[in-house]
Amino acid sequence: MTPAAFTGQLLAFIARLITGAQGHWKGCPPKAEQRIYIANHQSHFDLVLIWAAFPHELRAQTRAIAARDYWTKSALRRWLTTEVFNAIYVSRTRANPDEDPLEPLAEALANGDSLVIFPEGTRSSKGNPMPFKSGIYHLAEQFPHVQLIPTWIDNVQRVMPKGEVVPVPILCTVTFGAPIQLREGETKADFLCRAREAVMEQRPDPTLVGRLVEAD
Amino acid sequence: MHWLKSLNASEQVALLFVVLFGFLMLLTVGLFLNSLRERVDEEARRASELTWERVRRDLRAAWIGGCMFWVAWISGPLGATLLFALFSFLALREFITLVHTQRSDHRTLIVAFFVLLPVQYMICGTRFFDLFTVFLPVYGFLALPIVSALTGDPQRFLERNAKIQWGVMVCVYGLSHAPALLLLDIPGNTGRGAFLLFFLVMVVAASQIAQEIATRTLRRRPVARQISRSFSMRAWWIGTVTGAVAGLLLYWITPFKAGQALAMAFLTSGAAGFGGLVMKALKKDAGVLYWGNRSSITGAVGLLDRIAVLCFAAPVLFHSVRWYFQLPLGYR
């Protein structure tokens, strides 16, 4: 086992120990198809969590997105993102106006890889996710055969609230919903709105718990 | 019986495991064959399939429990302590997930998980039992609200702290007494701690099963309908007395005389029975029916449901044993 593979296993193990990292495949099976997972983003921990929730076989070909300026600063960060997570670097600032920030993503999709995208662009601390950025619309337009899987990561804000460094062990779930696709003639705004609603639909309903039939 | 007494402690323990696993094996094979029996009509087959499903779950739990017990024994003090520390960690994780802590509890939770829990088990593993019994109720009790106060959030201060204190007392303090029983050296009983833990588990299991059967068959008026629609005092008595009798029948594997075993088993199973009720009240308060509810908001695994009664029974047995044998303070 290479050091990178070992580190990956170790990180997944730690994430499971702290959060349980349970993947609930409600709308689709965990299959090695080409997919784009679009998820809500509440914490730095999200990526490791969603990655740990995948079965081992899916991890290698499911690639996350890392901000180039932040994740190439030190050798360790670069090693983590390239060797362990096999992430795709995206520049947050454009060097010249013609550069397409989505190009590396399109390249990865053309290679047959799957992606994990947090379309809010940044972390949201309040309950509902912020409006989605348009990147996923362009990708859905360019790659109509790739399934978009709405994904909800629950409870993770309790594990590591903004400003804290040590995670607290609290159980989290990752719910994967039924795939959505860009409809014929759907406008960008409509699609982004629909995608956001699909992600929010995956949120486990806490009121359901109280309505269970009493087993006692 | 003479033959049994001629064996040394570790041979006796080995025999205990042979008997335990042999019994489990017979039970599994028997129930499996029974499930294969041809059922004539559709109705009976469906019913038997459902029963088998449930029985299989219980059997798996029993096997896992048996294997854990064995692993705890062969791996010695260190292994047993680590194993139960892991259980405590998972149980506390489940508890904290479902009682809904606030953001400002973050630091307090870090102290509970990463300071109090490891220290308690470290004390347990080194058999420093006089500190072991007071570390959480005295020092932990004071440390948690101090950390909480330092974060400077007065909102629902008492409630927030009470939740965490409770989780720590049940999941860490209570459960840590199980490996402590394994490690407790009683004069004349050295190296046979496994029997004490076995005694605890068997007594609790017997009383719980009896109480369960009693509630199903008796249908008495529940004492606390809002909390549990099934718990009645009559069922509790039946469970407790059954546990006590089970303890009496097992007295020969413990350092106790028959009467002492009966008394201790009575206390232990009584505590377990009421402990189950208390945990139910906690669950109702948190708005869940099982700690690991299947449709889960959190994906909890339901560990707490299985070990909660043990968390209440273990400290009672541990204390009464130490008190009865008058083990001096600081006795290792």
Predicted confidence at residue B245, as pLDDT, reads 93
Paired residues of A180 in beta bridges = A148
- Dihedral sign for Cα B175, B179, B182, B187, please: negative
User: Which residue pairs, CB below 8 angstroms and at least 24 apart, start in A55-59?
Assistant: A55/A23, A55/A30, A57/A32, A58/A30, A58/A32, A58/A114, A59/A8, A59/A12
Predicted confidence at residue A23, as pLDDT, reads 84
Question: Does B331 reside within a domain?
Answer: no
Q: Would strands A65-67 and A88-90 be described as parallel, antiparallel, or unpaired?
A: parallel
Chain B 266-285, residues with CB within 8 Å of chain A CB atoms: 280
- Residue A152 CA to residue A124 CA, distance in Å, equals 13
Question: Does B329 reside within a domain?
Answer: no
CB pair distance less than 8 Å for A168 and B97: no
| Structural tokens at position B316 | 């009672």
- Residue B57 CA to residue B61 CA, distance in Å, equals 6
Residues 6+ apart with CB under 8 A from A186: A194
| Closest partner CB to B299 (pick from A22, A164, A212) | A22
Paired residues of A115 in beta bridges = A36, A63
Whether residue B102 sits in one domain with residue B32: no
End-to-end Cα separation, chain A, in angstroms: 49
Determine contact: B104 vs chain A, CB below 8 A. Answer: no
CA distance readout (Å), A110 to A37, A115, B88, B244, B291: 16, 11, 47, 70, 45
Answer whether residue B72 shows pLDDT above 90: no
CA distance readout (Å), B267 to A120, B8, B166, B211, B236: 57, 30, 22, 15, 12
Whether residue B207 sits in one domain with residue B68: yes
Determine contact: A76 vs chain B, CB below 8 A. Answer: no
Work out the angle at residue A110's Cα, subtended by the Cα atoms of residues A106 and A113, and round it to the nearest 5 degrees.
95
Amino acid at B188: G
| Structural tokens at position B234 | 């009559």
- Residue B204 CA to residue A160 CA, distance in Å, equals 38
Cβ contact B318:B181 at 8 Å: yes
Question: Does B307 reside within a domain?
Answer: yes
CB pair distance less than 8 Å for A164 and B289: no
Centroid of chain to Cα B117: 17
Answer whether residue B331 shows pLDDT above 60: no
Question: Does B145 reside within a domain?
Answer: yes
Cβ contact A152:A175 at 8 Å: yes
Residues listed for chain A: 216
Higher pLDDT, B8 or B299: B8
Q: How far is A98 from chain B (nearest CA, A)?
A: 44
Centroid of chain to Cα B269: 11
- Residue B329 CA to residue B317 CA, distance in Å, equals 17
Whether residue B53 sits in one domain with residue B76: no
Chain A positions in Cβ-Cβ contact with residue B287 (cut-off 8 Å): 206, 209-210
Question: Does B80 reside within a domain?
Answer: yes
Domain boundary among B25, B42, B63: B63
- Residue B142 CA to residue B140 CA, distance in Å, equals 5
Answer whether residue B330 shows pLDDT above 70: no
Whether residue B91 sits in one domain with residue B132: yes
Cβ contact B269:B210 at 8 Å: no
Whether residue B201 sits in one domain with residue B153: yes
Whether residue B132 sits in one domain with residue B43: no
Cβ contact B95:A169 at 8 Å: no
Question: Does B257 reside within a domain?
Answer: yes
Query: Residue A153 gets which letter from DSSP?
Result: E
Whether residue B57 sits in one domain with residue B137: no
Chain A positions in Cβ-Cβ contact with residue B291 (cut-off 8 Å): none
Determine contact: A4 vs chain B, CB below 8 A. Answer: no
Summarised one tens digit per residue, pLDDT across range B120-149 is 999 998 888 889 999 999 999 999 999 999
Selection from B60, B306, B273 nearest residue B178 by Cα:
B306
- Identify the closest residue of chain B to A26 by CA–CA distance: B295
Chain B positions in Cβ-Cβ contact with residue A45 (cut-off 8 Å): none
In terms of average pLDDT, the best of A183-197, B156-170, B315-329 is B156-170
Whether residue B292 sits in one domain with residue B206: yes
Higher pLDDT, B198 or B326: B198
Higher pLDDT, A63 or B226: A63
Number of domains making up chain B? 2
Whether residue B110 sits in one domain with residue B34: no
Summarised one tens digit per residue, pLDDT across range B14-42 is 887 888 888 888 888 887 887 777 667 77
Residues listed for chain B: 332
CB pair distance less than 8 Å for B300 and A171: yes
Predicted confidence at residue B306, as pLDDT, reads 74
Q: Choose the mutation target among A16, A168, A173, A174 for the interface with B, i.e. most B CBs under 10 Å.
A: A168
Chain B positions in Cβ-Cβ contact with residue A214 (cut-off 8 Å): 229, 289
| H or E element in which residue B16 lies | helix B9-36
Centroid of chain to Cα B149: 32
Cβ contact A150:A177 at 8 Å: yes
Question: Does B305 reside within a domain?
Answer: yes
Percent of chain B with pLDDT over 90: 29
Give the pLDDT of chain A (216 residues) as one tens digit per residue: 788 888 888 888 888 888 887 888 888 888 888 899 999 888 878 888 888 888 888 888 888 888 788 888 888 888 888 888 888 888 777 666 667 778 888 888 888 889 998 888 777 766 788 888 888 888 888 888 898 999 998 888 888 877 788 889 988 888 899 999 888 888 888 999 999 999 888 887 654 443 333 333
Amino acid at B66: G
Q: How far is B82 from chain A (nearest CA, A)?
A: 15
Domain boundary among B11, B33, B63: B63
Range of the structural domain that residue B22 is part of:
1-63
Helix residue ranges per DSSP H, chain A: 3-19, 46-53, 56-59, 68-71, 75-79, 103-110, 135-142, 156-159, 188-201, 206-210
Answer whether residue B297 shows pLDDT above 90: no
- Identify the closest residue of chain B to A154 by CA–CA distance: B298
| Closest partner CB to B229 (pick from A18, A155, A216) | A216
Determine contact: A161 vs chain B, CB below 8 A. Answer: yes
Determine contact: B291 vs chain A, CB below 8 A. Answer: no
Chain B 206-235, residues with CB within 8 Å of chain A CB atoms: 228-230
Give the range among A140-154, B50-64, B157-171 with minimum mean pLDDT.
Answer: B50-64
Whether residue B156 sits in one domain with residue B24: no
Higher pLDDT, B260 or B2: B260
| Closest partner CB to A212 (pick from B92, B101, B293) | B293
- Residue A37 CA to residue A174 CA, distance in Å, equals 11
Answer whether residue B296 shows pLDDT above 50: no
Domain boundary among B23, B40, B63: B63
Selection from B90, B67, B61, B93 nearest residue B79 by Cα:
B67
Crossing angle for the helix pair A46-53 and A3-19, to the nearest 10 degrees:
100
User: In terms of CATH architecture, what is A3-203?
Assistant: 3-Layer(aba) Sandwich (3.40)
pTM of this structure: 0.82
| Closest partner CB to A209 (pick from B101, B280, B287) | B287
Residue that has been written with the tokens 């948190």 in this structure:
B286
Give the range among A116-130, B158-172, B231-245 with minimum mean pLDDT.
Answer: A116-130
Q: How far is B88 from chain A (nearest CA, A)?
A: 12
Whether residue B283 sits in one domain with residue B155: yes
Paired residues of A117 in beta bridges = A38
Summarised one tens digit per residue, pLDDT across range B93-123 is 988 888 878 888 899 999 999 999 999 999 9
Query: Residue A182 gets which letter from DSSP?
Result: P
Paired residues of A90 in beta bridges = A67
Cβ contact A132:A192 at 8 Å: yes
Higher pLDDT, B66 or B233: B233
Q: How far is A49 from chain B (nearest CA, A)?
A: 14
Give the range among A164-168, B172-176, B241-245 with minimum mean pLDDT.
Answer: A164-168
Whether residue B173 sits in one domain with residue B72: yes
